[in-house]
Chains A and B, each alone.
Chain A
């Protein structure tokens, strides 16, 4: 501070000018690069939406850019009526709801005892978690296990192998540990057993972190592709992500079949119905996004605090 006063006024003005310029430089760069990223994120999505509402011939001739050409909704009608899309959506919803509930219950139940530092055998249980986290038994042994347990082609095969994510469970455990000891002691004096303390005191106090972890599990079940592809072969039990992936590969066959039977010649093309299935798969995520963003940001903050 002292030395600053000795700088001649002229020189000081120069410095301020320099500072202003670098401020502007950085801000311009920020607007340019961030806007570029936004465009790169948004444009592919707009293109797909535009395609989904366009006429098939317009897509095939490469005319569709960011706005539908010869607008129509034949593609959506086909995907919803002629394919198993809705069934796949229903299956995924079911697996997501049941799976998330089961995972939350199992994780909370496992996290609570581990959050007690005086728990006898705590080190051993934490060691088990670490092993599970670091060493993976692998695809083939897991597949054989599912086959051996007779779980192939059942939704349990999508839930049981992912029942507890050690990472998520540890987030809950760390939060439980951070709860004030006094509240829990008060409950104990009140005569509440461990179960009652957990259900009526610890869980209500931990709602923010439980919401975040619920979301992490829900996204996992919703987006899961590999287990569903590996364990589910019954076409009636196909889940959304597998359906969409296979649909993209087989869309050509469907279009050929439909073109032969209907008078909708030219309305549909592979590109249109692939775009329709993709857009339909995006809608639930975007609809729930405000909720997702709120709890995910919270989750990241919690995650970074834990270290």
Chain B
């Protein structure tokens, strides 16, 4: 209000105004305190802990695991070099890329198709019932879904009953490395299809009905309407979702793997985070595990920033 005086007084006026704002609205800053404390302790302190990737971390070298960080010997790139030379690094990285690449390839188009088709179902009751049925699994935890599918896929389960009745050998879905990835993809689709479809559904219902009206008058077939109105209309949503998926290709879905997998399928299913868990927490090889995490975090960071840049350029909006 008193802000726009002369240019000479501008700088000091601004400062004074800021000070006045803080003095008047100090409760706002009080409100920020819990969140800031949370971020400093539980988010920024772990960043500090990442340095153990460059040390021979020994948790018992001091009374506190945190003080042990600086008490451990600095070894520079030792662990990162070891990591890049190890064969498990290549395995784990390629598993992560293959499994999550397959997720995108098979599961990305599906909810778009289902959303487009759901709109075409004219019986309202059937539509909302089927939408609910597909949507509910999204709220099941991975443990529950593991419980469901370890039942359906075990030797006496529904699928193997079918396989057996068709005259084939029973298939050990959860312990056969070559099939296990398929199980991961399928169950992921089972959980997330409805949720993702609803996102596209929201975009489709936001489209202008007059466009369809005009197309119908012009004699455009339903297929043409889908191809020329619906798809272009929801393209921004599609692109945005795809960018997000690619941006998170290194760090999604590992909790599912951790719950579903077992030693029999490690070679095909071990992803970055599950590997970090096994060697870090499992074998107490903290430094080696953190080196892996550091690599993962840096690449993920680059991917996400890249994804956001692409999103800004193509869609003119930021993904967060």
Check if B82 is an interface residue, CB within 8 A of chain A: no
Query: What is the size category of the interface that chain B forms with chain A?
Result: 35 or more
Instruction: Specify which chain A residues have a CB less than 8 angstroms from the CB of B149 in the assembled complex.
Output: 44
Instruction: Please state if A245 and B221 are interface contacts (CB–CB under 8 Å).
Output: no
Nearest chain A residue, comparing its CB with the CB of B117: A30
Instruction: Specify which chain A residues have a CB less than 8 angstroms from the CB of B320 in the assembled complex.
Output: 130, 133, 167, 170
Instruction: Specify which chain A residues have a CB less than 8 angstroms from the CB of B142 in the assembled complex.
Output: 223, 225, 241
Instruction: Please state if B141 and A59 are interface contacts (CB–CB under 8 Å).
Output: no
Instruction: Please state if B293 and A140 are interface contacts (CB–CB under 8 Å).
Output: yes
Check if A177 is an interface residue, CB within 8 A of chain B: no
Instruction: Please state if A128 and B133 are interface contacts (CB–CB under 8 Å).
Output: no
- From residue 178 to 230 of chain B, which have CB atoms closer than 8 A to chain A? 190, 193-194, 198-199, 202-203, 216-224, 226
Instruction: Specify which chain A residues have a CB less than 8 angstroms from the CB of B32 in the assembled complex.
Output: 109-110, 113, 125
Check if A71 is an interface residue, CB within 8 A of chain B: no
Check if A210 is an interface residue, CB within 8 A of chain B: no
Check if B265 is an interface residue, CB within 8 A of chain A: no
Tally A-B pairs: CB < 8 A. Answer: 297
Instruction: Specify which chain B residues have a CB less than 8 angstroms from the CB of A143 in the assembled complex.
Output: 280-281
Check if A195 is an interface residue, CB within 8 A of chain B: yes
Check if B47 is an interface residue, CB within 8 A of chain A: yes
Instruction: Please state if B114 and A33 are interface contacts (CB–CB under 8 Å).
Output: yes
Nearest chain A residue, comparing its CB with the CB of B135: A293
Instruction: Specify which chain A residues have a CB less than 8 angstroms from the CB of B160 in the assembled complex.
Output: 62
Check if A300 is an interface residue, CB within 8 A of chain B: yes
Q: Per a CB cutoff under 8 Å, which of A47, A145, A193, A304 touches B203?
A: A304
Q: Per a CB cutoff under 8 Å, which of A29, A45, A134 touches B304?
A: A134
Given known contacts A27-B120, A125-B32, A144-B66, is B141 in contact with A138 (CB within 8 Å)?
no
Instruction: Specify which chain B residues have a CB less than 8 angstroms from the CB of A164 in the assembled complex.
Output: 35, 38-39
Nearest chain B residue, comparing its CB with the CB of A243: B143
Check if A189 is an interface residue, CB within 8 A of chain B: no
Q: Can you list 20 A-B pairs, Cβ within 8 angstroms, ordered by A?
A: A25-B222, A26-B117, A26-B223, A38-B134, A41-B133, A61-B156, A120-B21, A137-B47, A138-B293, A140-B281, A141-B290, A160-B42, A161-B42, A198-B31, A223-B139, A248-B147, A281-B143, A285-B139, A286-B136, A307-B240
Give me 19 other A-B pairs in contact (C-beta within 8 A), A44-B148, A125-B36 excluded.
A1-B217, A22-B223, A26-B223, A37-B114, A43-B158, A51-B151, A62-B155, A106-B34, A109-B31, A119-B21, A140-B286, A141-B50, A164-B38, A222-B141, A241-B143, A248-B143, A278-B147, A286-B136, A304-B237
Which 3 A-B residue pairs are closest in the complex by CB-CB distance?
A137-B46, A141-B49, A278-B147
